[in-house]
């Protein structure tokens, strides 16, 4: 029992820095997905023959926008939090500016798209 307690923190210590550096990269890479998904929905809805039933077009579209906004915000925020708490200032601000902010702005665009498409704003 005592041995495993000693081994555990060491393992966590090695993997944690990788994770906090990886999340901003994943957040940025994720931004490639929403345009692909939106393009796929559009093609499925307006290709001949139609692959996406008309009744599904709207819910699927809203779902894609909501999912894209939510995941972008989550990854952008988690990435920023990890960097702010675990990295040196230069590394943190650099990765926040290049990876987290684009992800957060992408999320904001998808959220605004969702709200406009719902005629709520």
DSSP string covering 35-47, please?
A: HHHHHHHHHHHHS
**In this complex, which beta carbon is closest to another protein, that of residue 5 or of residue 18?**
18
Q: Which of 77, 94, 95, 99 binds another protein (CB under 8 A)?
A: 77
85: contact with another protein by CB under 8 A: yes
Residues 6+ apart with CB under 8 A from 48: none
Measuring CA to CA, how many Å separate 49 from each of 43, 46, 69, 88, 93?
Answer: 10, 8, 30, 55, 49
Q: Which of 8, 12, 17, 53 binds another protein (CB under 8 A)?
A: 17
Write out the residues near another protein by the rule CB under 8 A.
13-14, 17, 38-39, 41-43, 45-48, 57-58, 61, 73, 76-78, 80-81, 84-89, 91-92, 100-101, 104-105, 107-109, 111-112, 116-121
């Amino acid at each position: 029992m005592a041995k495993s307690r000693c081994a555990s923190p060491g393992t966590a210590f090695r993997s944690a820095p990788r994770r906090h550096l990886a999340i901003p990269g994943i957040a940025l890479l994720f931004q490639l997905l929403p345009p692909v998904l939106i393009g796929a929905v559009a093609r499925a809805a307006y290709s001949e023959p139609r692959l996406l039933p008309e009744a599904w077009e709207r819910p699927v579209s809203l779902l894609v926008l909501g999912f894209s906004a939510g995941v972008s915000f989550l990854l952008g925020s988690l990435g920023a939090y990890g960097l702010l708490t675990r990295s040196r200032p230069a590394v943190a601000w650099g990765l926040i500016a290049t990876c987290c902010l684009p992800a957060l702005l992408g999320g904001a665009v998808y959220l605004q798209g969702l709200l406009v498409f719902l005629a709520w704003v």
